[in-house]
A and B are shown apart, each in its own frame.
Chain A
Amino acid sequence: MKGFIVAGKSSRYQQILPLLESAVLRGWKDANVVFSKFGTSITELPERSYLKAQSTEFYADPNINKKTFIQEVIKQAHPDNLTIIITDLFQQDADVNQITEGVKAKYINGNLAVGVLGCKSEFKGKIFDVGPKAYTFEYDSYDDAKRFRPFYVLALGKHSDISNYFDYVLKDGSFLSEPQPLIFSRHFAEKLVSFNGATITEISKMAEVENLIPIDVKDNRVKQFSIKNSSDVNGSFSIPLDFKALPYTIPIKPQELKPEISVFKCGTEQNPNADQNNEAEAVRGLNIKANLNESKIDLKADVVPTNLPDIGIYGFQIILRPSNYQMPDWVINWNMDGGKVEEWRTSPNDFNGATTYNLKPFLTNLWENTLQIHNPKVAELYCYIKKE
């Protein structure tokens, strides 16, 4: 990190340091901020001494500057606090796994979030731990913004705290070059999408009713319909639903959402001998297609009455989940091409210091762990359909 302190210049890295504290003080009343520096070990910095990180002497401590053990910081961090780590994220392959495991165990498993704010800054100095053989390269970004070296503000804690923190840093950080905020979390939207404020735009062969469930049950997630028991006619309806994405979340791609549907028959007691085939068939009584477009989910439902075994009221639970995601372009662009490291060893002048080794595997790992544990959803809806 020493190379980010460029003699004769006020690099973006130096400028962001005081901002990291002021964002906390402005974003939270009665906030208590504690600073530490870490490398081989972790040392607490009293009062405002963290500002010495704006000078090169800060990085010269031989007790700290041999290795960078981010995983130790994660181990010591308290999940109730918002933990901010400034790092260039240059990690060995094994370290990437250790850090991911640490973050997964303490934060992702605990329904907390991980934020990454990628920034770029002037740099002049040595870059260590490049490639599987941990090479060292000299690098100078000069004044060329395309050559600026990335560094990262890692944030660990509650999604809302991380989002609030990024808001304040970005608001006051107009000097930052290409800031790229990203939060890995189970939350995609301010609220799970429901039928609140939505109006059916098309409906065919079925009617929207209000009397299938008790009148005092008011739930925005519920819509009720009746359909005739007709063998040759399917019903359908279309409804656009409002979707407000949380800022900084990973983009959903492609746009089609994956529906999960389960069904239960209303008004009958639980019967352990109930025909499982009937239930499996009843699930096919409702087909859902949902596409996410900007701030709307276009939901189209087809009701097949012949797949609903008996007359009566069927309750369908519909959960919509993103079917695929797209890591933002900056992650791919800022990721170092590991295949070129040996080439750079022989031609050091070609070394691309504007990229980060193992960035994409690290962030992809984090996201895949989040997906595996939480399998985030964007909507949970209920349709009661009466077959007459």
Chain B
Amino acid sequence: MKHVLYIVFMILVATFFWVLMNFFEAYKLENNVIPFAGLRLSTWLENFRSLAFLGIVICGFLSILWYLLGQWAFKFNYWNKKFRAIWCLFLVLTIIVTAILCFLTINLQEGTILVYIFYFINNFFTFYLGTLLFSPASVKYTPLGAEYVRHW
């Protein structure tokens, strides 16, 4: 039951970033980006929303995968620093996902940096916060900074 709950919480973290993307980031971008000729702002925003959603889903999946591995695949009784490398690898994957999204995004005349920042925030923190707060007991201190945060 606790496992289901933690996975649901991880999904909620991803959902939080999806809401942030849709209602805050998209609004900010609407007033700060300028697409190239022939492309309407609404069309570009649709492209951004689709790719950002995809990034959040992949990184949310990565956090759930981390949970499943940590709970049922890694063989130990207490946290082991060796698994931090695997967690860091997942973290790097979120950055790779961000890079791919940046590549796939339709070019802009202005505002590109802001778009990249939003992709990074969404993908990185979906995984980081999900794993920081809700990693299974066996690896709950593996995420960076978890030893200061995880008191449950």
The interface of chain A, by Cβ under 8 A from chain B, is 199-211, 226, 228, 237-238, 388
Contact = CB atoms under 8 A, between A and B. Distances in A.
Given A204-B109, A388-B31, A209 B42 contact: yes
B34 A205 contact: yes
A211 B42 contact: yes
A200 B37 CA distance: 5
Most chain B beta-carbon neighbours within 10 Å: one of A202, A203, A208: A208
A208 B36 contact: no
A208 B43 CA distance: 10
Contacts of A238: 37
A209 B37 contact: no
Main secondary structure of the interface of A (DSSP, over half): strand
Nearest to A208: B40
Interface residues of B, number: 13
B42 A206 contact: no
Interface in B1-55: 31, 33-42
B34 A207 contact: yes
29 contacts: A199-B37, A200-B37, A200-B38, A202-B37, A203-B34, A203-B36, A204-B34, A204-B109, A205-B34, A205-B109, A205-B110, A206-B34, A207-B34, A207-B35, A207-B41, A208-B35, A208-B40, A208-B41, A209-B40, A209-B41, A209-B42, A210-B41, A210-B42, A211-B42, A226-B31, A226-B41, A228-B31, A237-B37, A388-B31
Contacts of A388: 31
Top 5 nearest A-B pairs by Cβ distance? Answer: A203-B37, A207-B41, A200-B37, A209-B41, A207-B34
Nearest to A211: B42
Contacts of B35: 203, 207-208
Contact of B33 (A199, A207, A211): A207
B30 to A, nearest CB: 8
Given A199-B37, A210-B40, 8 more contacts: A199-B38, A200-B38, A201-B37, A203-B35, A205-B109, A207-B33, A210-B42, A228-B31
A220 to B, nearest CB: 15
Contacts of B38: 199-201
A127 B20 CA distance: 89
A206 B33 CA distance: 9
A9 to B, nearest CB: 62
Interface of B: 31, 33-42, 109-110
A226 B41 CA distance: 9
A206 B34 CA distance: 6
Contacts of B36: 203
Nearest to A203: B37
Contacts of B39: 208
Contacts of B42: 209-211
Contacts of A205: 34, 109-110
Contacts of B37: 199-203, 237-238
A206 B109 CA distance: 9
Contacts of A226: 31, 41
A199 B35 CA distance: 14
Contacts of B109: 203-205
Contacts of A211: 42
B39 to A, nearest CB: 8
A343 B23 CA distance: 87
A228 B30 CA distance: 11
Nearest to A204: B109
Nearest to A205: B34
Contacts of A203: 34-37, 109
Contacts of B34: 203-207
Most chain B beta-carbon neighbours within 10 Å: one of A200, A206, A207, A208: A207
A237 B39 CA distance: 12
B78 to A, nearest CB: 55
Contacts of A207: 33-35, 41
Contacts of A206: 34
Contacts of B31: 226, 228, 388
Contacts of A201: 37-38
A199 B41 CA distance: 14
A201 B38 CA distance: 6
Nearest to B42: A210
B47 to A, nearest CB: 14
Nearest to A237: B37
A210 B45 CA distance: 12
A203 B35 CA distance: 8
Contacts of B40: 208-210
A189 B31 CA distance: 39
Nearest to A201: B37
A207 B111 CA distance: 12
A205 B36 CA distance: 10
Contacts of A200: 37-38
A208 B38 CA distance: 8
